[in-house]
Copies of this chain bind each other. A is one copy, B any other.
Amino acid sequence: MVTLEDVARHAGVSLATASRVLNGSTRQVGASLRVKVELAAAQLGYRTNVAAQTLARGASNVIGLVVHDLTDPYFAAIADGAMRVAENQGLMVMIGTTHRDPQREIAYVSTLNAQRVRAVLLVGSRVADEQLTRRLREELDRYRETGGRVACVGQDLLGVDTVVPDNRLGAAALARALAGLGHRSFAVLAGPDRLIAPMDRVAGFAGALEELGLPAPLVLHSSFDREGGYAAATQVSGVTCVFAVTDVMAVGALAAFRDRGIRVPEDVSVAGFDDISTLRDLVPSLSTVRLPLAEMGARALEMALAPDEGTGAQVVTGEVILRESTRALG
């Protein structure tokens, strides 16, 4: 294992000089020595020991990313956006997946704190559980007390900089658009009732319907994934339009209707939320609310990295996109 000291000796300079040329300091080093050091480092195959560097500097070049599930394209897109800015800043990223277990999220914050990462990004809906939220906040506060920076993509419940998709507004806009198509009877595939994002989407949707003087939608709960969408859709009947709170769930719903011999959009219209790009080629193409996922991830990391503790929440509003899965009535 070649160390900086080896390089310094080999180049006939001091440790400090070698450090200055190899590991970007602001200090200048004379051209001749600089060359010697670089040569020695190359010949010996020197590689900085980042652990030692981190310890000495008291600051690392790593950021932590905590997501629920990387195979869910929603999280993959957000993570990708964040990773691009990390790359541009020369930061490495450490990822943890919670598989939707809030306890794991807390545990990851603790671990990332131990790693002394420069910042941590929490991506994904908060849960409606005071207890859990409080414990997470405590862990985050502990991390922040010692200089850690935190940002979140989700709901503004943690007291940290947050990029918050306006789920209510987006769902409400979607409801109005659907009503504009002539729909009067709706079902909502609502996902689990302990996650806030789906709850907000349901509330926004139902609220808009109420404002329009339309009957309340049939609300069906299930898991937050493709299977949940499928299961919930099997219970749907007597409505002309179904709103699945995520595109991924909408895919499940589409499959369920297909299996039941119910045509979309002829027999029933279906809309989702998120506008997942991998799913844009579905047939029928999915009406949805587009969220700038990658940008949300990027912005969140930028907030976390900003010199001063940002201003709190940055709201992102979705854009309603009507495609083939919803049709005008009458």
Q: Is the CB of B92 within 8 A of A115?
A: yes
Q: Given contacts A51-B54, A51-B116, A71-B73, could you give 8 more A-B pairs where the C-beta distance is less than 8 Å? A: A47-B114, A51-B55, A51-B115, A71-B76, A92-B96, A93-B96, A95-B95, A251-B281
Q: Is the CB of A52 within 8 A of B49?
A: no
Q: Is the CB of A142 within 8 A of B45?
A: yes
Q: Say yes or no for A97: interface residue by CB 8 A criterion.
A: yes
**Residues of chain A from 37 to 56 with CB closer than 8 A to chain B in the complex:** 45, 47-52, 54-55
Partner of A281, one of B69, B73, B254: B254
Q: Is the CB of B115 within 8 A of A50?
A: yes
Q: A55-B52, A55-B55, A83-B70 are in contact. Are A47 and B110 (CB under 8 A)?
A: yes
Scoring A residues 232 to 269 as 1 if CB is less than 8 Å from chain B, else 0, what string do you get?
00000000000000000001101100100000000000
Q: Is the CB of B71 within 8 A of A77?
A: yes
Assembled-state Cα–Cα distance A301/B195 (Å): 33
Assembled-state Cα–Cα distance A114/B283 (Å): 47
Scoring A residues 50 to 67 as 1 if CB is less than 8 Å from chain B, else 0, what string do you get?
111011000010100000
Taking each of A94, A115, A226, which has the highest tally of chain B beta carbons within 10 Å of its own beta carbon? A115
Main secondary structure of the interface of A (DSSP, over half): helix
Q: How many Å from the CB of A85 to the closest CB on chain B?
A: 12
Enumerate 5 A-B pairs (CB-CB under 8 Å) in ascending A order: A51-B60, A71-B76, A73-B73, A83-B95, A278-B279
**Residues of chain A from 274 to 290 with CB closer than 8 A to chain B in the complex:** 277-279, 281-283
Q: What are the 4 closest A-B residue pairs judged by CB atoms, nearest first?
A: A51-B54, A51-B55, A48-B114, A50-B115
With a CB–CB cut-off of 8 A, which chain B residues contact A54? Answer: 51
Q: Say yes or no for A113: interface residue by CB 8 A criterion.
A: yes
Q: Say yes or no for A31: interface residue by CB 8 A criterion.
A: no
With a CB–CB cut-off of 8 A, which chain B residues contact A142? Answer: 45, 47
Q: Is the CB of A93 within 8 A of B95?
A: yes
| Closest B residue, CB atoms, query A146 | B1
